[in-house]
Structure 1
């Protein structure tokens, strides 16, 4: 996400900004006047929550990531590096028990020290069924997490223990090769139990009801606002390397509005789409980066109509993906014919890319789509059908579903598509409640392993909005996480099989593009970190050079 969590393209859903140029050396950075270390940016949507146990969208994860830090953080090379942990952990002989020492100078913004108990509390909160965390299954690698999530054990039995204030012990169900990457994710951030308890159900609903232990403090956000501010956290353990004093964020759901703000000098960054990409492509402020984010249609399998696999297959093949990426996005995004994006993971046996190895699992094919539609109508006992696609109300989301509506109705005669666009917070609430036929969403992984995509559709997964249930699929996921945890080739082959079941056999979702982000960034703004997966952005190392 990441979600890691969960859920969206930078241009469609998220706050976007990117690195430009590079550092000119610590000496030159240090000489830059403090009064100039402030930037203004746009965001395509609002924050939904600042509670790391409840987020399920890119905006929230990005905001939480600016103000919070876990045992590990992500460095400029997109690798895990030490965060609140002051040294690499000691590991038991069976590679299941990890013991971390925490930094003595790690503090919360209220002055409390960050302790091992803060991690224990936060991890237990995520897996507690009462929390209903969308990301709870990401913790299944920790001992007893799955049992706790399924109410077969108490949260206190989770394999995480505070040996003392600064010593944290994590016990895994099985050895895993990607633990540091996993621990950079939003669900693995600490929380201050005393503060959370004091705020009750209001925790994370405004700037005043959350604490920071990361590079920035969040200000000027009431929970429903369209603007907020990040202020440098002078008590952050690594504050000496944080150059920006202030980042002001303004929501601009319309790309044109964001471009106007950039042109008038009111912001230093804004995202670009379709016609604006062509206009600014030769501008020195223009940038484009590929992502591991995917866009897809999700189907509600609890409904009779979209519960029909032939209808889902018909819908999946009924729209031209290449036309979409070229005419609606135009930002470097590419058609996607599988669930796992390209250039994301390599076969441990031959270094072959996952997407290339598993091939095209669902393509634009109007003839096959019509055939599946005919079968679906027969099984459903209907000649005509009306379905609704739910989306967020950003400009590009609206254009996306309008394109899909036109394509589907053209290629599947007798199928009427209605559209419903609402603010992201409402869209998430509706999908979580199962109050939809089809939804358009995006998903950005929290770390670079295919399991982070595949585990979303675990039967009891908190982000499994499709309500997909398959004992075979669940068993395969369990094998990937446990039986084959130390057998990389068997693990890889099982993940290839799982993707085919999800997309080709059961048509649980209809993936159709791999994202990219195009944007304008003032050439004087340097060092902004863009992630190809997980959270979208970090201002931790950014600075103004002029």
Structure 2
């Protein structure tokens, strides 16, 4: 999810997609956009679920939001935090109070001044329980945020205060070393308070009410077809923006997208936009156009611990152990991914010496766990276990699911049915608990293990979906939050991951790599370790 759901597309009719797209490549003039100057042509796999910074939870929505909005800070291509809408940041000696001074020339696309009150409004909007922001927990480092979001406190007690139009004061519960990375994430971006109070559906369509403060504006949004971004004339750093128009077509099939890339109709394939088609990986490797790098992201299968069968820990353990991860990587996905052994990728700071929680392709251990689980549930034969494995429509997810389905049936004797749904339908089903086993991907919002571990602190966390929670896990996470010693904090977090993995609420499968191909003459499209591409930094050579 979030930013954090990773996707690849399935096959669809080429002629239908080409009819919908209607644009050429490079810096040519697009018939649909009718704009002069440099044009970048991209694609995503489906309609973005939400283009509201405080409601979005997925990668494709986030990739667009990062182009049209800007937070107090941003993370550059080297992973370093730099000032953005904030011209100056002061941190108190106890690391609990942050004072942000906004730029004089920070403007909204309608000409309004970006104010500290816009940030305060947006953050508290996300914490208001009735707004059901799934990312509300990402603000919990702020004093009073969790209490307000859980109905135990008031908005006025939240440690976010606009001192004046240019000054925002933020008070934290505990020192949070990654807080300035948080303020770069799209959930922390502002929204125009005046516009939002006038129209509570301002974010539903492109138009005069979709007011932005980033390097681009949302020029056009043809639902289930395409999004067009245009360089913003009101952006404070517009002189650094090289590309004038960005066309983002919605192309369900990654195979179709690959053909369009090869014909020059698309300029880039790769996360966080359209993923490279599985059947093209070997071709792009051979011609040396494929670029591969590590990314702080994990692919996993989540178990619904409220389900009659998946509530059993030993059944979940059996299914986790009975996946041949290296075989999957070598024979199916072929992107030099790494077998995942936990829910935190090894590329995250401090996790390069990650504990080993289970052995890959451990059929002996899987069969022993299955036997225990069946006895506990009163099931006599493995063939009596019928598992529904849910995925979103997608050629890579389907190929992975088929590989796992065959392995589980052959080695454990259980029956597996693959349940396939379109993206938005899939999200609704998983969020509603209508699944037994569901595929998910999660990419770090910031370079710290809590970006993964915070998801499972409570069962009702919108990005948990497993229904699992543990008092021991909660205690360890609370201790880590208060710990200021780096090594001791890391130890608490690693113990928390061990508690999670001992219960198997999810089966980690692999740590992602970033795979992409880009047209010659285009720079700045290399995803960073968090999988982000700053559209502001993209350059097209004439």
TM-score by length of 1: 0.89
- Deviations 1:283-336 (CA, angstroms, capped at 9, x unpaired): 354322221111000111122211111111111111211111122211222211
After superposition, the Cα gap between the structure-2 partners of 1:215 and 1:11, relative to the gap in structure 1 and judged at 3 Å, is farther
- Deviations 1:244-280 (CA, angstroms, capped at 9, x unpaired): 0011112233232112101211111224243311112
Task: Map 1:259-408 to 2 at 5 A.
Answer: 259-270=258-269, 271-283=275-287, 285-346=289-350, 354-361=351-358, 363-382=360-379, 383=381, 384-408=384-408
Q: Matches of 1:284 and 1:394 in 2, distance apart?
A: 25
Contact 2:346–2:354 at 8 Å: present in 1 too? no
Partner of 1:27: none
Partner of 1:502: 500
Contact 1:97–1:170 at 8 Å: present in 2 too? yes
Q: Matches of 1:9 and 1:359 in 2, distance apart?
A: 27
Contact 2:9–2:254 at 8 Å: present in 1 too? no
Q: Matches of 1:316 and 1:113 in 2, distance apart?
A: 52
Greater relative contact order (Cα < 8 A, sep 6+): 1
Partner of 1:152: 152
Contact 1:9–1:515 at 8 Å: present in 2 too? no
Match of 1:428, SS state, is: helix
After superposition, the Cα gap between the structure-2 partners of 1:66 and 1:529, relative to the gap in structure 1 and judged at 3 Å, is farther
Partner of 1:487: 485
Task: Map 1:215-254 to 2 at 5 A.
Answer: 215-222=215-222, 224-254=223-253
- Displacement of 1:60 in angstroms is 1.0
- Deviations 1:397-423 (CA, angstroms, capped at 9, x unpaired): 22222222111111211x211112222
Q: Matches of 1:36 and 1:399 in 2, distance apart?
A: 41
Partner of 1:46: 47
Match of 1:221, SS state, is: strand
Partner of 2:469: 469
Q: Matches of 2:241 and 2:8 in 1, distance apart?
A: 24
Contact 1:5–1:58 at 8 Å: present in 2 too? yes
Q: Matches of 1:313 and 1:284 in 2, distance apart?
A: 40
Q: Matches of 2:352 and 2:453 in 1, distance apart?
A: 14
Matched, 1:521 2:508: no
Partner of 2:539: 543
Contact 2:227–2:249 at 8 Å: present in 1 too? yes
- Displacement of 1:531 in angstroms is 2.2
Q: Matches of 2:131 and 2:264 in 1, distance apart?
A: 43
Match of 1:497, SS state, is: helix
- Deviations 1:187-242 (CA, angstroms, capped at 9, x unpaired): 11111122123332x342222353211011123314x3232111111111111000
Partner of 2:179: 179
Contact 1:273–1:329 at 8 Å: present in 2 too? no
Contact 2:225–2:250 at 8 Å: present in 1 too? yes
Contact 2:51–2:203 at 8 Å: present in 1 too? yes
Partner of 2:68: 67
Task: Map 1:400-439 to 2 at 5 A.
Answer: 400-413=400-413, 415-439=414-438
Task: Map 1:83-98 to 2 at 5 A.
Answer: 83-87=84-88, 89-98=89-98
After superposition, the Cα gap between the structure-2 partners of 1:495 and 1:9, relative to the gap in structure 1 and judged at 3 Å, is farther
User: Where do 4+ consecutive residues of structure 1 move more than 4 Å?
Assistant: 9-12
Match of 1:358, SS state, is: coil
Larger CA deviation: 438-447 vs 464-473:
464-473
Contact 2:524–2:539 at 8 Å: present in 1 too? yes
Q: Matches of 1:175 and 1:4 in 2, distance apart?
A: 25
- Displacement of 1:500 in angstroms is 0.9
- Deviations 1:502-530 (CA, angstroms, capped at 9, x unpaired): 11x11011111011132221111112241
Matched, 1:82 2:83: yes
Contact 2:9–2:395 at 8 Å: present in 1 too? no
After superposition, the Cα gap between the structure-2 partners of 1:423 and 1:362, relative to the gap in structure 1 and judged at 3 Å, is farther
After superposition, the Cα gap between the structure-2 partners of 1:203 and 1:315, relative to the gap in structure 1 and judged at 3 Å, is farther
Partner of 1:530: 527
Contact 2:258–2:277 at 8 Å: present in 1 too? no
- Displacement of 1:355 in angstroms is 4.1
- Displacement of 1:52 in angstroms is 1.4
Larger CA deviation: 436-445 vs 535-544:
535-544
Partner of 1:100: 100
Q: Matches of 1:9 and 1:475 in 2, distance apart?
A: 34
Partner of 2:31: none
Q: Matches of 2:141 and 2:194 in 1, distance apart?
A: 27
Contact 2:8–2:254 at 8 Å: present in 1 too? no
Partner of 1:6: 4
After superposition, the Cα gap between the structure-2 partners of 1:333 and 1:9, relative to the gap in structure 1 and judged at 3 Å, is farther
Partner of 1:19: none
In the alignment, structure 2 segments of 5+ residues that lack a partner are 11-34, 270-274
Q: Matches of 1:101 and 1:146 in 2, distance apart?
A: 25
Match of 1:175, SS state, is: coil
Match of 1:220, SS state, is: strand
Give the length in aligned residue pairs. 508
Q: Matches of 1:216 and 1:490 in 2, distance apart?
A: 42
